[in-house]
Chain A
């Protein structure tokens, strides 16, 4: 029988042997490389973070992306201008309306089309309602990552209402393909706006309920306040936009500053992080900014329904895109995960010469090493959840 020497050695020498082994390999003894992802529930999709740890402290983070790369930009060069819309839906699949709005507005900008006020208002309503659904998923999964199960069950109930509404409108529950360059796929069904208004009334009391359930929960605050503080300088140099930037206290909201689709007509307040539980720009601020943004979205939806004019929703849809002007255009819009911009280049043919999509979540991933290094592994989980990434938008 083969002798198993290792089994006979008492515990102490084994550890000693381990020490010399580690020393000879050049490591400090405690350092370890940890692969977080690509399949990991706390990475919200297929993101891989290579963490170099010293005990529980993370000393280095290297993000690896591209696991969900579907060649959006390459595909877009081989299809017509109109056929790109469904592909934009698949970028941020939690906020498809906002994605197709960005693309539609860019094409309209290049063509010099201006849609009528009814189309503009309906786009605002659908995008804002989609923003609420997207924020619901963020808040739910954020709680889940921190260890709070219950908010998920409540928030997905609210989201289900929105998904049902959008299903009635467009026929699908996630990827709507509703906003088209030049207009909308079709007008809203009878009674749909009444249901949206009912949803607003239903949603109003849910936000204080959520605050009681999660926002001001002591454990939640301890896990998120002062964690992953992003200063305005860091945020801007890394190209962070949207709620993440506003959480740092920078008053910048494209819906108000460079209004598009008639946002200038509505009265709403961009919500800023004030550092109520810790420093401004920490993970808790990034959370609460989105909670308050849902209230603002409800405000916008109500105003848009109240002032909805009549009009033909498809009057400006081009019959064909053969007369696309030669040139380029860049248009940026405020999506739930930061600025989404499309840069399109046309050479006058019916397929785009180049479509480049700029996504907010792409920049949010790139900032994780800057704000997460030096913290605990569990804090990195909180940070990844708090910057709100959807890998479909990152990898495109």
Chain B
């Protein structure tokens, strides 16, 4: 199915989404209240059958956090990108880990590095960083600590960007 057909199908089921195809990957944006219902539909509809969640990325934009889901159907080989956002003072997004189990670890990573909380994830702990680490490094205003448990750390953020190339 082409992206247009997929989006028509989603809208025919009662969701109201618009496709944005300016970039190389067309995407749909959904409200976080509708995320779970949309995700369940994408997974369970026999004509769509998005059975594989390829990637779940958390992003820190100046005004809001965003989570991007890249889905593919191993049966029909069609793809779709779903984006959802939440405000920074309420960084909670419903978890899709009951729909695709792989989201559990990817959400843990997004929580660990970006600081987005996923409501419904059974095991929302830090995954790559130590459990007592402070802050979320992929936030743009993150200031790296100078030491951790008395171990001095090089200050990565203070080094200027290499101007080469």
Task: Answer whether residue A206 sits at the interface, using C-beta atoms and an 8 A cutoff.
Answer: no
A239/B138 in contact, CB under 8 A: no
Interface 1/0 per residue, A160-195 and B, CB below 8 Å: 000000000000000000000000000000000000
Q: How large is the interface on B (under 10, 10 to 19, 20 to 34, 35 or more residues)?
A: 35 or more
Task: Answer whether residue B137 sits at the interface, using C-beta atoms and an 8 A cutoff.
Answer: yes
Closest chain A residue to B133, Cβ basis? A66
The stretch of A35-43, A281-289, A355-363 that contacts the partner chain: A355-363
| A77–B130 CA distance with the chains assembled, in angstroms | 22
Interface of B is mostly: loop
A258/B165 in contact, CB under 8 A: no
Contact of A82 among B81, B104, B165 (CB under 8 A): B165
The stretch of A47-55, A123-131, A222-230, A339-347 that contacts the partner chain: A339-347
CB distance from B128 to the nearest CB of A (A): 4
Within 8 A of A (CB), among B34-91: 51-55, 57, 59, 68, 70, 72, 74, 77, 79, 81
Closest chain A residue to B157, Cβ basis? A78
Task: Answer whether residue A351 sits at the interface, using C-beta atoms and an 8 A cutoff.
Answer: yes
A80/B54 in contact, CB under 8 A: no
A74/B156 in contact, CB under 8 A: yes
CB distance from B127 to the nearest CB of A (A): 6
A73/B74 in contact, CB under 8 A: no
B104 / chain A contacts, CB cutoff of 8 Å: 366
B55/A236 in contact, CB under 8 A: no
Within 8 A of B (CB), among A89-118: 109-110, 112
Q: How large is the interface on A (under 10, 10 to 19, 20 to 34, 35 or more residues)?
A: 35 or more
A73/B138 in contact, CB under 8 A: yes
Closest chain B residue to A74, Cβ basis? B137
| A345–B81 CA distance with the chains assembled, in angstroms | 14
CB distance from B91 to the nearest CB of A (A): 16
Contact of B70 among A80, A237, A238, A341 (CB under 8 A): A341
Contact of A110 among B22, B24, B101, B130 (CB under 8 A): B24
A358/B164 in contact, CB under 8 A: no
Task: Answer whether residue B119 sits at the interface, using C-beta atoms and an 8 A cutoff.
Answer: no
A395/B128 in contact, CB under 8 A: yes
Task: Answer whether residue B102 sits at the interface, using C-beta atoms and an 8 A cutoff.
Answer: yes
B130 / chain A contacts, CB cutoff of 8 Å: 66
Task: Answer whether residue A255 sits at the interface, using C-beta atoms and an 8 A cutoff.
Answer: no
B128/A236 in contact, CB under 8 A: no
Contact of A329 among B23, B127, B162 (CB under 8 A): B23
B161/A351 in contact, CB under 8 A: yes
A217 / chain B contacts, CB cutoff of 8 Å: none
Contact of A69 among B25, B129, B138, B164 (CB under 8 A): B129
Q: List 20 A-B residue pairs with CB atoms under 8 Å apart, sorted by A's residue number.
A: A65-B127, A65-B128, A66-B126, A71-B156, A74-B156, A80-B162, A80-B164, A80-B165, A110-B23, A236-B51, A238-B102, A321-B165, A328-B23, A328-B25, A330-B54, A330-B70, A332-B55, A351-B161, A354-B59, A370-B101
Chain A interface residues (CB < 8 Å from chain B): 65-66, 69, 71, 73-75, 77-80, 82-83, 109-110, 112, 236-239, 241, 250, 252, 257-258, 320-321, 327-330, 332, 339, 341, 343, 345, 350-351, 354, 356, 358, 362-363, 366, 370, 395-396
Having A80-B162, A358-B55, one finds 14 other A-B pairs with CB under 8 Å, namely: A66-B128, A71-B137, A71-B156, A109-B24, A237-B101, A238-B101, A239-B52, A239-B100, A239-B106, A257-B77, A328-B68, A350-B165, A356-B57, A363-B102
